[in-house]
Structure 1
Amino acid sequence: MKCNLQVPPRAHHCNICQSCILKRHHHCYLVGKCIGFKNQRYFIVLAFYSVIVSFWGLYLTVVYLRDKWWHTATWSDAILPMTILRCLFGNITAHVTILVFHCYMWAMFGPIAMVYFISQILLIFKGLTLYELAKNVPVRNTASVSKNFQSVFGDFWALNFIIPAQILFRQKEDGCSWNSVKIIQNPPKDVHHHCQIL
């Protein structure tokens, strides 16, 4: 189906992908695709485990540095530019420099992943997408919170965070018809030329 024909109610155009995406949330540069109906559950689980891995990695790296290196270091050695400079002059090993860099990486990546995870969960609670929220699309969702989670993750939605459950528990909707979602008025349509619905 071409975009310049009739599209499902929650399909929106992405100028980067040059496609219309069912239940489009946003274009994710990290994964190189739009997050929408078909891959939102994977994105949320990725964000969830990224939070866990980032903070656990930060904890383990800090404990290692504290036990093996900190007793010979000064507080300024933990400031990344100083760490790199001292490594270049041979005062700190490359191994320690990489670990200090990892601390900064974990400390930056963990909160970013947490923001994505929490925002996605809050949007599921409301039954909205990030696109609909950002573009102020007048959507009213009458489904329960449980139904909203089943719409994204399928039955037994919490299992998605423990095991890959997408094969066993498919999504309830087809991405084209939304019985419990009403668009109060027609939002302004984007002009779409020669792109396909994904």
Structure 2
Amino acid sequence: RQGNYHQKTMSPSLKWKLVLLNIGGILYFFALSLGSLVIGLLITLPDLYADDPQALFRRRAVGVYVFIILLLNWVCLVYYHKHSRLTSASSLLPKFTAGQGMNEHRSCYDCSIVCPPRTKHCPLCEACVIKRDHHCFFGGCCVGFHNQRYFIVFCFYGAIGALYSTILTFTHLTNHYANPLSYEIYCYLLPWLLYYWVIGQIQMKTVAMVLFGYFCLMTFLACGFYFGFQCFLLTTGQTFHEWTKGNKRYRQPLLDNLRSVFGPWWLLNFIIPMPFLKSPDNGLDWRIAHEE
């Protein structure tokens, strides 16, 4: 079955807003991740483990490891995005048009190319993306067939790192400001916080630490949500767009879905990025699920 589709034209003002979101998302990622590393290594950890050098070393090592793996997966997310971009010059197109099991393809008027199944056009990237899931503003790119594994691991370590920083920050504040797990929790409300700062009861660095803790907590919730939702999509074998449309045409057994995204030995991707573990799928030809 062949069809055509055309992406709705994006207004220049909307596109500029999305471009600014791209820039803001990338800056937020680097600011929070680097800030968490520096604050953890130089402020919160030395304060909490001043009397135990070995524990301090181990916890610093954990923080550095999480930061490195997070950064490596961000780099892979951005780098391998280009492999999911479909262009008229793509050498993959002849394989698609001649491949067995070509079940659905359609033409994209914006790119003037024939697209394989599960391909969607991104107006911000200005390209058709193979097995497009969504546009990630923290990477400034789309999540597709060739970089979905890195996005999932990126969300996992983003949640771990943000939770680690949240715990360290509020434990540090418990010792130097107020206990958030007691009646003193009102001290963390923004009006009270600013009031205490204005009257000189707390210093600006305390206000900054509280705000930093809030950002870490919100980031943990966001990354945890995205990781959980991606795990859900792994079980259903769908992209976000297919899930919203109730499309289950490409649903396969869970292990097949895991191998398709992560390649063989999929758990190794959560230890260190494994770009050489290739998926058994090519992103162009997809098996149709058996009708129930």
Same fold (TM over 0.5): yes
Structure 2 residue aligned with 1:149: 258
The answer to whether the aligner puts 1:41 opposite 2:167 as a matched pair is no
State the distance in 2 between where 1:85 and 1:17 align: 45
Match of 1:181 in 2: 288
CA deviation string 1:116-173 (max 9, x = no partner): 00110110111111111123445242x3211111111111101111122223x12221
- In the superposition, relative to structure 1, how do residues 13 and 137 fare at CA in structure 2: closer, same or farther (>3 Å)? farther
**What's the offset of the Cα at 1:183?**
10
- Correspondences of 1:73-112 after superposition (within 5 Å): 74-112=184-222
Secondary structure, counterpart of 2:174 in structure 1: helix
Tell me, in whole angstroms, the C-alpha distance in 1 between the residues paired with 2:195 and 2:149.
43
Aligned ranges 1:46-61 → 2 under 5 Å:
46-61=154-169
TM-superposed CA distance for 1:85, in Å, is 4.0
**Change in 2 beyond 3 A, CA 1:138/1:154:** closer
Give the match for residue 25 of structure 1.
133
Change (3 A) 1:183 1:18: farther
Given that residues 138 and 183 in structure 1 are in contact (C-alpha distance below 8 angstroms), is that contact kept between their aligned partners in structure 2?
Answer: no
Provide the TM-score with structure 1 as the length reference: 0.82
Which protein is richer in helix relative to its size? 2
Q: Is the 8 A contact 2:238 2:248 kept in 1?
A: no
Report deviation, 1:75.
4.0
Q: 1:181 to 1:80 in 2, by over 3 A?
A: farther
Structure 1: tracts of 5 or more residues without a match: 185-198
Q: Does 1:64 align with 2:172?
A: yes
User: 1:133 is matched with which residue?
Assistant: 243
RCO comparison, higher one (Cα < 8 Å, 6+):
1
What SS does the aligned partner of 1:139 have? coil
The whole-number CA distance in structure 2 between the counterparts of 1:89 and 1:172 is 64
Aligned position for 2:273:
164
Structure 2: where are the runs of 5+ without partners? 1-86, 89-110
Aligned 8 A contact 1:27 1:33 in 2: yes
Q: Matches of 2:149 and 2:218 in 1, distance apart?
A: 23
Give the partner amino acid of 2:264: D
